[in-house]
Every structure is written in C-alpha cells, then in structure tokens.
Amino acid sequence: MEYFFKRLLRNVSVATGVLFGVAKKIDYKTLSRYMLRINEMQDLNGIIQETSLCLKDILNYRLFAFAVQDDDKVDVWIDPSIYKKSMGKIIKNDFGTRGKLKTHPLHESKEKRGNPVTFHTTDLISYVLMDGKYYAKLYILPDRRMFLYHNEIINIIVKSLGISLANLMNIKRLESAAAFDSMTNCYNRREFNRLIEHNIANAKRYQRDLSIIMFDLDHFKGVNDQFGHLVGDLVLGKVAEAIQLKIRKGDYLSRYGGEEFVLVLPDTKRTRAMELAERLKQVVCAMRVKTPEGDTVKITASF
C-alpha cells in the first residue's frame, strides 16, 4: 500500500510538472502582440484572420468557423478543409436562420488539402460573443489535449475579439448614421457629394455613361402648412420608399435638401435616364398618402 501511494504521488508530481512545463511554453509576448493587432484592426475579415492565426500559433487550435449576425445577415468564416455543408447546418441551427450564409475563407484556403475533414459536433468547442450590437460565435477544434489554463487563454482571446467587434460595429453604425438621412432612409447631401465625385471620376476614367435625375415635390410647403410637419415627414419617407423600389441596386437616391431629391445612375445613357424620370414621375403623381387623421394627401413632383 505504501508503495502504491508513493507511486501515485510520483505520477501526480510528474503530471503537474508536465502541466506547468507546457504552460511555460505559452509565449505571452506573442499573445500580447496578437491582441494589440486584433484591437487595432478596423475590418472584420482582418480581425477574424488574425484571431485564427493567434489560436493556431499560441495553442495549436484550429479555428473551424466564425459566424457573426448583424441585423438579418449572417457572415461566416469557415476553414476550407472541413465539409462546409455540415458546418453550415450547425451555424444555421445556432443562429436560427434559414437564409443563405455569406461565407468567407480563412487563411488555410491557401493550402492544398485533400478530402474534407470530418468531425463530430461534440468535438467542437464554441464561444458566444454578444453585447446587443451583434451576436457571434466562435467554433474551435483543439488539435491537442485541452488543459484548464487553455480555456483562460482562449477567454482572453475571445474577450479581445469581442472588444474589436463592438468597436467595429460602433464605427459602422456611426458611418451609416453620417451617410443616411434618417427621415427618408436614403443618402444625405454630404454622402451624395462624395458619391457623385467618385462616380464622375469612374465615368471619366473608364469612359462610361453617367446620368443624374433631380426632382422635387410640388407645393410641399402647402402640405406642411395644411397637415403639419409630421405629415410632411411621412410624405417624404413614402416618396423615397416608392422611388427606391423602382431603381436598380447600383443606383443612388439622395435627399438633397428639404423636398429635393437627386438620383445618381451609373452606366445609364441620357435617353434611358429620361425614360426612367418619366416613369418615376408617374409613380409619385399616382401616390396617395393617408394621414393619421384619415385625410389623403395627393402628391405631384417636377423632374
């Protein structure tokens, strides 16, 4: 019995020594450099790629997938060595979505691989990142035995990733707020100035057509005077919404000021723009906007 306990203590001692020996091999300076780089990045793809490299370099863990949901869109980064369909099903189930996932490759896409890696869902370790601005999930497949301190290091990495994501989402929302008119949900005048400058430069450089349509709502002051500014705001929003439904995805509708709007049409000839202007005029003139009090506002516009 005494021999048994001595042997047990010796094994525990050896195991403890191995554990701390492995722990000492963690390069915390390198980990800190990764954390700084992740926090300094301002693009989501770069943040995810750097996180993938960090996990592999520090712990020899493979980042199998990362998914982030912003509004109704789910962006996914998947290790190309795995079977995407299986991973996609897991992510769709976790995020409660049936729509198509927008996938991006991780660094491993540069390597030549054979058949896709198969795995059991129980082998995956996932971490949730959420702060009200986004919902994200990190999927990891350890390539080595997982020690307790590994989880602490992963938590450091995940926390740094979460801070970077929150900062990125804040910047994205601020940029969106600065570019869009909150009343009509179309571009504001400042963003129009930037867009038109960019589109004119492209049209000149690549010898492409570019057209612009300007229009304003007739007698709009009378609408405000008769029904009030809240109804006037409602009318502006309804008109912008109706126009947006009739233009292409690559066209830009901006509120130029007051009741004035401007539409930028890349790759559009003058004749095509004139035809579109006539159709849009008919759309606006056919509109009838109901007020909260039950009145009807008839709208006309000059193009």
The catalytic residues are: 259
Which of 184, 185, 167 is CA-nearest to residue 176? 185
Residue 12 vs residues 3, 73, 130, 262: alpha-carbon distances, Å: 14, 50, 39, 76
Which of 53, 54, 62, 70 is CA-nearest to residue 156? 54
Whether residue 19 contacts residue 27, with contact meaning beta carbons closer than 8 Å, is answered with: no
Q: What span, in angstroms and rounded, lies between the C-alpha atoms of 7 and 13?
A: 10
Sequence-ordered list of residues with C-beta below 8 angstroms from that of 225, at least 6 positions apart, any chain = none
DSSP track, 28-52 = HHHHHHHHHHHHH--SHHHHHHHHH
